[in-house]
Amino acid sequence: MDNSYEVIKNAYDSNAFTTAQTAAGYVNPEYWEKALFESVKTNMVMLPFGVDKSALVQGDGDTFNFTLLAEPTVAAAVAESAAVTIAAFAPTTVILSPTEHGIAYQLTDKEGRRAFFDIMSQMVKDIGYGLALQADALCISQCQNSAGNSVTGNGVVASSIASSDTIDHLDVLNAMYENEVDKYPTPIALIVNPRQRLHLSKDTNFLTADKFGAGAVVQKGLVGYILGIPVFTTTAIAVTTSHSKAVLLSTREPFIYGFKNTGGVRSQYQALLRYTDLVGCIDFDVKVARSNGICTIESWTAS
The confidence score (pLDDT) of residue 6 equals 39
Same domain, 119 and 200: yes
Same domain, 3 and 110: no
Strand partners, 267: 278
* pLDDT, tens digit, 9 for 90 and up, residues 117-165: 788 888 888 888 888 889 999 999 999 999 999 999 999 999 999 999 9
Same domain, 133 and 268: yes
Same domain, 171 and 215: yes
For 183, residues 6+ apart whose C-beta sits below 8 A from its C-beta are 71, 292
Same domain, 121 and 170: yes
Task: Please state, in angstroms and rounded to a whole number, the distance separating the CA atoms of residues 95 and 61.
Answer: 12
Task: Please state, in angstroms and rounded to a whole number, the distance separating the CA atoms of residues 165 and 159.
Answer: 12
Same domain, 136 and 41: yes
Residue 302 lies in a domain: yes
| Alpha helical stretches, state H, the chain | 6-9, 35-41, 54-57, 109-114, 119-146, 169-180, 194-201, 209-212, 215-219
Residue 72 lies in a domain: no
Same domain, 189 and 232: yes
Same domain, 3 and 50: no
Residue 294 binned pLDDT confidence (cut-offs 50, 70, 90): very high
Domain interval for residue 11 = 1-30
In sign, the C-alpha dihedral spanning 186, 137, 292, 227 is: positive
Same domain, 20 and 160: no
Same domain, 47 and 9: no
Residue 175 lies in a domain: yes
Cα torsion 246, 250, 251, 253 to 10°: value is 10
Residue 85 lies in a domain: no
Q: State mean pLDDT over 205-228.
A: 58
Q: State mean pLDDT over 172-181.
A: 96
Residue 65 lies in a domain: no
Split into its structural domains, the chain has a count of 2
Task: Quote the strand ranges of the chain, DSSP E.
Answer: 51-52, 64-68, 92-96, 99-108, 149-152, 189-192, 206-208, 222-226, 229-233, 243-249, 255-261, 265-270, 275-288, 294-300
Same domain, 17 and 157: no
For 224, residues 6+ apart whose C-beta sits below 8 A from its C-beta are 201, 206, 207, 208, 209, 211, 212, 230, 231
Residue 141 lies in a domain: yes
Same domain, 209 and 302: yes
Residue 49 lies in a domain: yes
The confidence score (pLDDT) of residue 112 equals 82
